[in-house]
Structure 1
Amino acid sequence: MLLQSFRVTHLQGLLPLTFLLSVASLGLKTVQASTPEDQSQRPNIVLFVTDDQSGDIHALGNPAIRTPNLDALAAEGTIFDQAYCTTASCSASRSVILSGLHNHFNGHYGHEHSYHHFSSFERVKSLPVRLTQAGYHTARIGKFHVAPEAVYHFDKALPGNARNPVLMAENVKQHLSSLDGQQPFFLYFCTADPHRGGGTREDLPHSPNAFGNIPSGYEGVESTYYHPNDVRVPAFLPDTPTARAELAMYYESISRIDQGLGRLVANLRELGVEDNTIIIFTSDHGMAFPGAKTTLYEPGMHVPMLVRDPRASQRGITNHAMLSHVDLTPTILDLAGCYSQDTNPAEDFHGRSWAELIGHSSSGDHDSDSTDKWDKVYASHTFHEIQMYYPMKVVHGRQYKLIWNIAFPLPYPFASDLWSAPTWQKQFEQGPETLYGQRTVEQYIHRPEFELFDLVNDPDETRNLALEPEHAQRLQAMQQELKAFQKRTSDPWILKWNYE
């Protein structure tokens, strides 16, 4: 059983006894993998995860950006245009991706590196460990950012500069060439782009602490130039020269990612495994600007999700099912044939498999068979950096979304890179009533306890319905949904309904 290795000493002083008992009472079972006799029939699987990227891909509706390889992936696969992270923080989000458990349950509340020192509980059984036990060879390259290593253990950690996805793809090719070909493989390919990296462009005076490093500094990567006048400024950002300069560099780093994906696919083709390899492309969360990363507003939660399965009967289609990162582990295990017949996958994970949706389009209407069970996601955020305590819980339907800001009396905390972002500083310096996108600086920093939005009529989340009497019944119903989600996933912050 998953919880047989549960150690109370890991939580003493952190969680109340009632929570420990509720966790122990879940009795989560481990999915036992049954390995087919013919390993050659099992698909290889690549999970390609970028760092701080919103849906800025030409095929996803941004004509200003050049992403030919991502466009090709979309044309050959399924676009899931309603995919969401559960927490817009790098380590915490990756722990969810690799476990199928919300971070308030797996213990990875925030960043792994340096003094932040967050990690998952030893009881967690991760995706790579499960796949290894199921007969897969597992390898990772690039950004890892979760702990402990024993919980998230891969058979092989490959070298490579995570800012150079072309070189990463070459190192992957070399490694795959060394295998005997008898095992299917799972590859976790994670770039450090387009995360901010402090690079500058001399022709853009407004771009210190921007995205990536100097574009010409990567061997084998062609620099893709974007003029600030040509970028698209999303509604949550101010349309200023500073914002446009930063967005131009953000686009450049995405074009580097695109080149890396193209090289990876070409290498898989050259190795003769492309036709038996499923590729899943996503990001850990939205772009690294205040208003997106670290928030649970739409620019922070909404992520790209492209899936190319060579076995799918339909290609180049869009499915509007609402998917969550918490669904990725069960989905990948399902694709790998790793569910046994005598266990219930729902008892192992907070998410569920959407493998059956790949290769099927949908209208997004509730009468669509492929979406009527996929019309709600949840989110749970606690920290980013250690100094950034600001727990938020979200229930997100197709039309209405509720955010519970548990620590709402506190000013909203900033990630160090976002606080120093030139786009934010230019607006902050002008005073609290200055607009930063659709909100004032003051509204961004000080938030109400509950934020209720009608995303159909207010996609930019500018009108909070939580205090409007005509929405009181809906607010109460969605608050109950949040409580049910917290109870179902053993969230210790459920106690906050009773005090504070």
Structure 2
Amino acid sequence: MTERELARPNILWISLEDTSPRFGCYGDPLARTPNIDKLASEGTRFPLAFSTAGVCAPSRSAIITGMYQTSIGTHHMRTTHTHANSSELPTPYHTVTPHYVKTFTEYLRAAGYYCTNNKKTDYQFEPPLTAWDELGSHGHWRNRERGQPFFSVFNPTLTHESGMWPEKERQPLQTDPDRVELPPYLPNTRIAREALARHYDNIAEADKIVGRLLQQLEEDGLADNTIVFLWSDHGEGLPRAKRWPYDAGIRVPLLVRWPGQVEPQAVSDQLVSLVDLGPTVLSCAGIDIPYHMQGQPFLGDRKQEREYVFASRDRYDQSYDMIRAIRDKKYKYIRNYYPDLPRMMWVSFNNQHPVQQEMWRLHREGKLEGIQNLMFEKRPVEELYDTENDPHELYNLAKDPNYRDKLAELRNVLDEWLEQHGDMGKMDEGQMVANFWPGGVQPQTAAPVYIPIAAGSPGIEASLEGGAYPAPMLVQLYCATQGASITYTTETGGDARWKLYTEPLRLTGGTTTIRVRASRIGYKHSEERSASFTVGDPSFL
């Protein structure tokens, strides 16, 4: 480990689910979030942080790659398993991203970081072998080598949308439903208030997990050299929030504590997109950001200021849709590509939500009042909202002549963004999948090849088991699949630690068995191969 690597900061991500900023540090009087609030007081709060989609997998794919989901084909929600009563959809499949796209954690590993994820992924593709040193419920920075910098992700899943359902209630309600304030476009019934009260309770439970993780950093003497990020993958799991590009669906909490680098008790007016998280981590770690990444760092030496954030909505579970949105610090522009579609589309999972069921019941009975009918009205082609004066985005200004210039600005910038980054939502999903998986068959990564490099060795795989090599020798690894990355280990057994291959392996003596595998995003992992090399003293070989 070099001195520079030892000096690099550790990084902890605490990734919540389905959570808008219902914390005390954001001014919510019902929140019971002492640990999150303390973290905010020790760092900077970013109230203008937004996901790229109002649902988990497209958003998380953008986070892990630093690429917009619409640019790499991960924009449809639920591609990795089938849907009830939807056998004709082109699922399941894993998105095959462009060959140069990696998870940003691979760049961290190449720089010497120990990367763990405990344990959610949900990227629209199986994580490549090179993404994590540890992936699973035991993943923890405490398992790294002594002195090794780490990047560790923990995913409290308590706040998921389904936690609002009565059957998921973990304990009697601690939050008084009569004190819960619902958005004005939702029915203010006891059932709806109880659902949101469960969410408050689940956030309070997640806050305890946050406290335990921060305490572990203190116990390990790591708090002063660890950057802590806390965020949610998208907004909260209520109707017209989750799955939608309205602020309720894409505005997320974002807190960063970085002792000596980020101001404590500060509030930033920066616009931040979650596609920026990966590039920001690389920037903070002093690692070059690959040119292809579309996110941009909001911290570190290469910090950049945003003017706009972007979001999308496409097929979510059974129902196709296509919406694109852009937001600056005040205004939101939404473009509906299917103005003929109803807003209340069929998504079987969402239909289990008690608030969604209340909306349908009251609509059927003709008892919804005023703005509560909004989700049953016809969609406009374009929507424009003043989010500062109309935070619930209720009053569409797209046809108001007083906002003609702002409408034109956001419309044009959205077009430029689509042109610059591409939009695979324009392609029929079936054709896209046919391009990913020719003939409906998932491609497989080629198995790596060993290339011995030693005095007098022919440097071809056929020579691997033939005699001994003079010391020292190098073993180069090669994979024929474009864009593939290789992992290797010299350990045996199922619990072996696999390392990222970045340069030829140096062998100095004795017999070493090297196991290798390769992977590329969207491809099947390669077969595992194994070879043994005997290296001796040149004087007696």
Which consecutive unaligned segments of at least 5 residues does structure 1 have?
1-34, 160-170, 200-206, 217-222, 340-344, 359-369
Distance 1:318 1:454, change over 3 A: same
In 2, distance between residues paired with 1:104 and 1:151? 24
* Equivalent residues of 2:13, 2:229 under 8 A apart: yes
What percent identity do the matched residue pairs reach?
Answer: 30
| Shift in Å, 1:437 | 8.3
Question: Partner residue of 1:208?
Answer: 166
Alpha carbons of structure 1 residues 444 and 348: separation in structure 2 relative to 1, 3 Å: farther
- Residue 153 (1) aligns with residue 131 (2): yes
Whether contact under 8 Å (2:161, 2:236) holds in the other structure is no
The answer to whether 1:231 aligns with 2:180 is: yes
Q: Which residue of 1 aligns with 2:68?
A: 102
Residues 467 and 434 of structure 1, relative CA distance in 2, 3 Å threshold:
farther
Q: List per-residue Cα deviations over 1:415-458 (Å, max 9, x = no partner).
A: 333222222222322227654784415x4463111111122332
Alignment equivalent of 2:229, drawn from 274, 280, 285: 280
Contact kept, 8 Å, 1:408 with 1:447, in 2: the verdict is yes
Shift of residue 491 of structure 1?
A: 1.6
2:271 to 322, 331, 338: 322
Give the residue type in structure 1 aligned to 2:297.
S
Distance 1:426 1:328 in 2: 36
Contact 1:289 1:418 (8 Å CA) reproduced: no
Larger mean CA deviation between 432-441 and 68-77 belongs to 432-441
1:391 and 2:349 matched = no
Aligned to 1:364: none
Match of 2:297 in 1: 353
Instruction: Report which of the two structures shows the higher radius of gyration computed on alpha carbons.
Output: 2
Structure 1 residues 44 and 198: alpha-carbon distance in aligned structure 2, compared to 1, 3 A threshold: closer
What is the SS of the residue equivalent to 1:47?
strand
Q: Are residues 1:425 and 2:369 paired?
A: no
Q: Does 1:121 align with 2:96?
A: yes
**Which deviates more, 468-477 or 48-57?**
468-477
* 2:335 is the counterpart of 1:404: yes
Residue of structure 2 in register with 1:111 after alignment: 78
Q: Which residue of 2 aligns with 1:454?
A: 386
Residue 153 of structure 2, aligned match among 165, 181, 188: 188
Which structure carries more relative contact order (alpha carbon 8 Å, separation 6+)? 1
Contact 2:156 2:209 in 1 (8 A): no
Change (3 A) 1:355 1:424: same
- Bigger helix fraction: 1
Q: Which range moved further: 190-199 or 295-304?
A: 190-199
- Distance, in Å, in 2 between the alignment partners of 1:265 and 1:114 is 35
- Which of 9, 12, 16 is matched with 1:50 structurally? 16
CA contact (8 A) 1:483 1:494 kept: no
Q: How far did residue 241 of structure 1 move?
A: 1.1
When the two structures are aligned, how many residues end up with a matched partner? Answer: 414
Q: What is the CA distance between 1:336 and its match in structure 2?
A: 1.0
SS in 2 for 1:131: helix
Deviates more, 1:48-57 or 1:267-276: 267-276
Partner residue in 2 for 1:38: 4
What TM-score does the superposition give when structure 1 sets the normalisation length? 0.77
Q: Which residue of 1 aligns with 2:107?
A: 130
Q: Normalised by the size of structure 2, how large is the TM-score? A: 0.71
Matches of 1:384 and 1:410 in 2, distance apart?
14
CA distance 1:434–1:105, change in 2 (3 Å): farther
What corresponds to 1:487 in structure 2? 419
| Cα displacement string for residues 179-237 of structure 1 (whole angstroms, at most 9, x for unaligned residues) | 322321111211222113367xxxxxxx535xxx3425xxxxxx882121233323443
Partner residue in 2 for 1:259: 208
Output aligned runs, 1:77-88, within 5 Å: 77-88=43-54
Q: Write the letter of the residue equivalent to 1:422.
A: P
CA RMSD of aligned residues (A): 2.6
CA distance in 1 between counterparts of 2:184 and 2:95 reads 36
Name which of 55, 62, 70 aligns with 1:89: 55
Residue 348 of structure 1: how far off its partner (Å): 2.1
Q: Tell me if structure 2 keeps the 8 A contact 1:394–1:403.
A: yes
* Greater Cα offset, 487-496 or 475-484: 487-496
Quick one: structure 1 residues 130 and 318, their matched pair in 2 at CA, closer, same or farther if it must change by over 3 Å?
Answer: same
> Aligned ranges for residues 3-82 of structure 1 at < 5 Å?
37-82=3-48
